[in-house]
Amino acid sequence: MDLTEAEARRRFTESPSAVLATADADGRPHAVPVVHIVIGDHVYIAIDDKPKKMSDPLRLKRLRNIAANPQVCVLAEFYDEDWTYLWWVRADGIARVISFDDGPEGLLGAFHDRHPFHATQPPSGPVVDVEVTRWTGWAFSVL
């Protein structure tokens, strides 16, 4: 059944990970797992990749796609073999690439607090800032 917007936001916010879908200028989709923080109507996504082959993280495909086409979709979901537990939430919006300095106060700390890995190895790259225009969600059953 469809989730209310409030319940969709709650589940999305609490989900430890999500998938970021972008598309390039030719409309070719690209999906990658991400970690995120929700503040208001913005989803912030840390870029943790330290690509061996590229010194400039802005060359990452997801960031090149956003530069060419800022429309993005971020999906949080839960899978279990017992499908009565399934749910997903989709945040559709417009993305831009910023630095932590350009983000809201406390953003870096929020990533630190959220993920044990970030506590020891803070995200240092660019940040994807998604202004969400639509929250939608579904659950097999709402408990």
Tell whether residue 79 is a contact of a second copy (CB under 8 A). Answer: yes
Tell whether residue 86 is a contact of a second copy (CB under 8 A). Answer: yes
Q: Which is nearer to a second copy, 31 or 58 (CB)?
A: 31
**Single-letter code of the amino acid located at 20:** L
Tell whether residue 13 is a contact of a second copy (CB under 8 A). Answer: no
3-state SS of 43-104 is EEEECCCCCCCCCCHHHCHHHHHHHHCCEEEEEEEECCCCHHHCEEEEEEEEEEEECHHHCC
Query: CB atoms < 10 A from the CB of 34, how many?
Result: 20
Contact pick of 42, 57, 67, 77 for a second copy (by CB under 8 A): 77
Tell whether residue 14 is a contact of a second copy (CB under 8 A). Answer: no
* 8 A C-beta contact, residue 41 and residue 11: no
Tell whether residue 60 is a contact of a second copy (CB under 8 A). Answer: no
Contact pick of 8, 22, 37, 63 for a second copy (by CB under 8 A): 22
Distances (CA, A) of 143 to 79, 106, 109, 137: 16, 33, 32, 14
Contact pick of 72, 97, 132, 139 for a second copy (by CB under 8 A): 72
What are the residues binding a second copy (CB under 8 A)?
Answer: 16-17, 19, 21-33, 69, 71-75, 77, 79, 81-83, 86, 88, 90, 92, 115-117
